[in-house]
């Protein structure tokens, strides 16, 4: 069996599907200050603004589809003779859709470490559930509580399934980072964990990330070109 692979993806893999990336040159977050829409404090100060922001992004998912890079990673899990863990920072569902009809050859996992637009969380209990509609006006909370929030990891909160991710990094033979700027931790530190484990590390991105010097191999170009070419 071939060595285990851990793949980290960021907003760049969904860019050519029409999902905007985060770090525009004006420093705004899809037109908003990051503190206003991606922190617990921002949500406490103005929940309507934050719900509105995520409602719009959730609705936009209907207009986008997985691209050749998502599809190439799905093929990899169907054909690779080793375990594959796909860790995405993205809150869209494009990896889920690309993998929907794929039977993995060996062990496969998909982790949304920063949460999912299509899930809601109860602020009192932390329980989460699927949520396809508008969080301000749709059906009442299934948890019997008033307080619903997007099931998204905001700044200052702990990303999901960190133990499982670090465990996979500590045993992987290949680490591939795709379409992420390397601005946000802990994801930006995964390359160092993989290097410590003795893995070969590869960056696939449109342009060099902040952590580019940490990678053994770098290939730059649009994800829909470089990811299929690397995987085949």
Instruction: State how far the Cα of 215 lies from the Cα of 175, in Å rounded to an integer.
Output: 9
Q: Applying CB under 6 A, which of residues 35, 157, 167, 217 lies at the interface with ligand BJW? A: 157
- 25 binding ligand BJW? (CB under 6 A): no
Question: Catalytic annotation on 112?
Answer: no
Tokens of 105: 């050859």
From the candidates 70, 95, 112, 114, which is the catalytic residue?
Answer: 114
Whether 117 and 57 have beta carbons less than 8 Å apart is answered as yes
Tell how strand 115-122 and strand 148-152 pair up: antiparallel
Q: SS3 helix, strand, coil % of the chain, rounded to 5? A: 35, 20, 45
Stretch that binds ligand BJW, among 43-51, 74-82, 128-136, 179-187 (CB under 6 A): 179-187
Whether 53 and 30 have beta carbons less than 8 Å apart is answered as yes
Q: Applying CB under 6 A, which of residues 42, 66, 179, 211 lies at the interface with ligand BJW? A: 179
Tell how strand 128-130 and strand 115-122 pair up: antiparallel
- 202 binding ligand BJW? (CB under 6 A): no
Q: Applying CB under 6 A, which of residues 12, 42, 66, 211 lies at the interface with ligand BJW? A: 12
- Residues binding ligand BJW (CB under 6 A): 10-12, 15-16, 21-23, 38, 89, 91, 114, 152-153, 155-159, 162, 179-181, 183-186, 205-207, 209, 222-223
């Amino acid at each position: 069996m071939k060595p285990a692979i851990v793949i980290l993806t960021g907003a760049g893999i969904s860019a050519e599907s029409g999902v905007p990336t985060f770090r525009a040159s004006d420093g705004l977050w899809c037109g908003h200050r990051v503190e206003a829409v991606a922190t617990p404090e921002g949500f406490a100060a103005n929940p309507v603004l934050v719900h509105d922001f995520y409602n719009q992004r959730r609705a936009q998912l209907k207009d986008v589809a997985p691209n050749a890079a998502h599809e190439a990673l799905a093929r990899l899990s169907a054909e690779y003779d080793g375990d594959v863990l796909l860790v995405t920072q993205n809150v869209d569902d494009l990896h889920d859709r690309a993998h929907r009809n794929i039977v993995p050859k060996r062990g496969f996992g998909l982790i949304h470490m920063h949460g999912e637009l299509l899930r809601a969380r109860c602020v009192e209990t932390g329980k989460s559930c699927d949520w396809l509609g508008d969080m301000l006006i749709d059906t009442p909370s299934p948890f019997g509580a008033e307080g619903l929030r997007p099931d998204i990891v905001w700044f200052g909160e702990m990303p999901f399934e960190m133990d499982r991710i670090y465990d996979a990094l500590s045993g992987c033979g290949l680490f591939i980072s795709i379409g992420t700027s390397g601005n946000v931790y802990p994801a930006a530190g995964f390359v160092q964990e993989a290097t410590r484990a003795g893995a070969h590390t590869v960056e696939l991105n449109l342009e060099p990330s902040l952590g580019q010097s940490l990678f053994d191999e770098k290939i730059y170009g649009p994800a829909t070109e470089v990811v299929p070419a690397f995987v085949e």
